[in-house]
Amino acid sequence: MDAEVLRLPAPAKLNLMLRIVGRRDDGYHLLQTVFQFIDRCDWITLRRRSDGRIRLLSPLPGVPEEQDLTVRAAQLLRRVTDVEYGVEIEIEKNLPMGGGLGGGSSDAATALLGLNALWRTGLSLQDLMVLGLQLGADVPVFVNGCSTWAEGVGEVLTPLELPEPWYVVVVPSCHVATAQIFSAPGLTRNNKPIKIADFLAGQQENHCLPVVSELYPEVGVALSSLGRFAPARLTGTGACVFAAFSDEADARAAAMTLESEWSVFVARGRNRSALHQALKLV
């Protein structure tokens, strides 16, 4: 791909399950989780510069430019490849921060894959996944671009083919701090590992839910509200909760009822990332 400007999607994910099965000596938690993409996205515009400068045109409130994951991704890729190009980055932010939808990680993955094309650096997906892990545990999943069973700290990935239902996603107004949840004394860290077959048979707990509901009561209320229509679950460490519907009309009817109380949207589950489709990687 030879272009000077790319506008690319950074799709959201849902954690269809999240188990905490241990903790390493360095403090990182050992997880089992299942990621599926949905067709709700941030949008990232990348404009190639010839002067080597990396500029963020749309900084997020409260996030210094040098800490933004898209800027860090650009700096990392340039450092590894010695490319002389720079980039202007513009983010159209549609995914809530602290919502458990993976917005920051997805933005970073879109920057990595987009700049790999824009700068013609020629790195493989595996190379980019290794780089992505330096930016965050979820970034390799977004780089890899398919529904995934993930283990370890999130870096051991097994692709999955899953149903692609319609999801109703409720967005509470609170922003959940992931670090706060994983450091909470009440978090159970020694749950029994399961196998993929167990997940497919219905073992789809989120072990963060009790702590999140205690610290952020609004999440528990959102679960109860959505649970009137279908079994509701927490994605990641929250705050968003979701429920699956086989029929689009049923999903939209539930969302319409909930709109009077909550920020809510309907999205389709996707086993392939919209980013991979945009870059013709599938």
Is a pLDDT exceeding 60 seen at residue 242? Answer: yes
Annotated active-site positions, please?
13, 138
The reply to whether 24 and 146 lie within a common domain is yes
Q: Which of 9, 72, 11, 21 is nearest to 45 (CA)?
A: 9
End position of a domain, from candidates 144, 160, 176: 160
Is a pLDDT exceeding 90 seen at residue 272? Answer: yes
* Calpha distance 98→272 (Å, rounded): 24
Is a pLDDT exceeding 60 seen at residue 2? Answer: no
| 152 HSE (CA, 13 A, CB side) | 10
Mean pLDDT value of segment 29-55: 97
The reply to whether 126 and 172 lie within a common domain is no
Domain membership of residue 201 (yes or no) is yes
The CATH number of whichever domain residue 109 belongs to comes to 3.30.230.10
pLDDT at 56: 97
The reply to whether 102 and 187 lie within a common domain is no
Mean pLDDT value of segment 59-64: 85
Name which of 20-29, 156-165, 182-191, 235-244 the model is least confident about. 20-29
Is a pLDDT exceeding 90 seen at residue 213? Answer: yes
Mean pLDDT value of segment 72-93: 97
Spacing of C-alpha 12 from chain mean position: 5
Domain membership of residue 87 (yes or no) is yes
For residues 223 and 282, the model is more confident at 223
Rounded to the nearest integer, the mean pLDDT of the chain is 95
Non-local (6+) Cβ contacts of 150 within 8 A are 31, 32, 33, 34, 35, 141, 156, 157, 158
Count the domains in the chain.
2
Domain with 44, as residue range(s), is 5-160
The CATH number of whichever domain residue 206 belongs to comes to 3.30.70.890
pLDDT at 7: 98
Contact indicator for 141, 35 with CB cutoff of 8 Å: yes
Whole-number percent of the chain with pLDDT over 90: 91
The reply to whether 104 and 12 lie within a common domain is yes
Mean pLDDT value of segment 14-24: 96
pLDDT at 282: 67
Question: How wide is the angle at C-alpha 280 spanned by C-alphas 274 and 281, nearest 5°?
Answer: 85
Taking the model in full, what pTM does it have? Answer: 0.95
